[in-house]
Amino acid sequence: MELICPAGTPAALRAAVDAGADAVYCGFRDETNARNFPGLNFSRAEMAEGVAYAHARGAKVLVAINTFPRAGQLGLWHGAVDDAVAAGADALILADVGLIAYAAARHPAQRLHVSVQAAAANPDAIAFYVEAFGVKRVVLPRVLSVPEIAAITRATACETEVFVFGGLCVMAEGRCSLSSHATGQSPNMHGVCSPASHVSYRDDGNTLVSRLGDFTINKFAKGEPAAYPTLCKGRFRTGIGAGYIFEEPVSLDAAEMLPGLKKAGVTALKIEGRQRGRAYIASVVASFRAALAALEAGRPITGAGLTTMTEGQTTTVGAYRKTWR
């Protein structure tokens, strides 16, 4: 299975390649990219340089153009496709069906992947992209169990890529409007979920209060780890009590699921974290490189020791093992 690693900056790309990534995914410094945060991403020149660096060391570069274009303003997104191809991208990761159609028609030799933002999570949806546009791979949403992934892989003529570490989203990616509702900024259209510009914290006696826009997301006791305030990871008061309703602020770590994912026919394993630094990239990539080596050698996969890299200092295997069923 290929190890696909994040790169939010040219330095992170080099760190991922040097740590043993089979491929790196990154995006341009604009809203065509679902991680459109200040200080991140690549200029056109940096992208070409990054592709050259990766190729010289046997790694691939996948360019994410995975937001949805605004009606009547397609030029920015079409330009990103053309520029990524010109830079030598090994694949484009696309979400919008119109943009996939443009890329397939304009660059028929270019390898195309369906982004997780497209929320393609069943054989019929995936078959449409394969048959209509010649797509080679789909990145599956983080809401599927391993048996469900295996069934999809058996039923489609398409490679599958799944997330194995990093930030966990329990919503069907590409279909979540929580950030749009709270801040007016959408991960699907603007490339930002819960943008830092709308985040605030205040001390309230012995309690730390976190807010996103006009909404109180969480309250933390003194000394309690304070997670970043995203709506789906907030604590809510309901008729049955208070607590985490959608998702707890924890990170995905599916290292122990690698044997099952391999048996399921998964082609590629994706690490999340384009907004993270080089130390995170180097540590996580090296850990999963070692886990894959152990898997191939038939040795047990030991603990990765990545707790300090996780949200809330806690990990989960998420939907891969749906114990509530």
DSSP per-residue string spanning 34-71: TT--TT-SB-HHHHHHHHHHHHHTT-EEEEEE-SPPPT
Q: Is pLDDT above 80 for 276?
A: yes
pLDDT at position 251 is 85
Is residue 174 situated within a structural domain?
A: no
Q: Are 100 and 129 in contact (CB under 8 A)?
A: yes
pLDDT at site 291: 94
Two tokens, residue 247: 């998702």
In a domain, 316, yes or no: yes
Whether residue 288 contacts residue 269, with contact meaning beta carbons closer than 8 Å, is answered with yes
Query: Is residue 180 pLDDT above 90, yes or no?
Result: no
pLDDT band at residue 240 using 50, 70 and 90 as cut-offs: confident
Residue 86 has which token pair? Answer: 């010109």
> CA distances (Å), 99 to each of 16, 27, 92, 187, in order?
28, 15, 11, 17
Q: Answer yes or no: are the C-beta atoms of 92 and 81 closer than 8 Å.
A: yes
Lowest mean pLDDT among 127-131, 267-271, 309-313: 309-313
CATH number of residue 146's parent domain: 3.20.20.60
| Poorest-pLDDT segment among 159-168, 236-245, 288-297 | 236-245
The residue-averaged pLDDT of 286-308 equals: 87
| Percent of the chain's residues with pLDDT above 90 | 64
Of all residues in the chain, what percent carry a pLDDT higher than 70? 96
User: Which residue reads 């709270």 in tokens?
Assistant: 182
Q: Residues 78, 221: one domain?
A: no
Q: Which of 163-167, 188-192, 223-227 has the highest mean pLDDT?
A: 163-167
Which range marks the domain in which residue 203 is found?
A: 189-244
Q: Quick check: 299 pLDDT over 90?
A: yes
Q: Do 124 and 257 belong to one domain?
A: yes
| 56 and 145 both lie in a single domain | yes
CB atoms within 10 A of CB 146: 21
User: How many independent structural domains does the chain possess?
Assistant: 2
Same domain, 117 and 202: no
Residue 147 clears pLDDT 90, i.e. is over it: yes
**What's the chain's average pLDDT?**
90
- Tell me: pLDDT of 67 over 70: yes
Query: Do the Cβ atoms of 176 and 187 come closer than 8 Å?
Result: yes
**227 & 258 share domain:** no
Instruction: Kindly state whether residues 275 and 215 are assigned to the same domain.
Output: no
pLDDT at 4: 98
Contacts 24+ apart (CB under 8 A), 124-130: 126/152, 126/156, 126/158, 127/156, 127/157, 127/158, 129/100, 129/158, 130/156, 130/157, 130/158
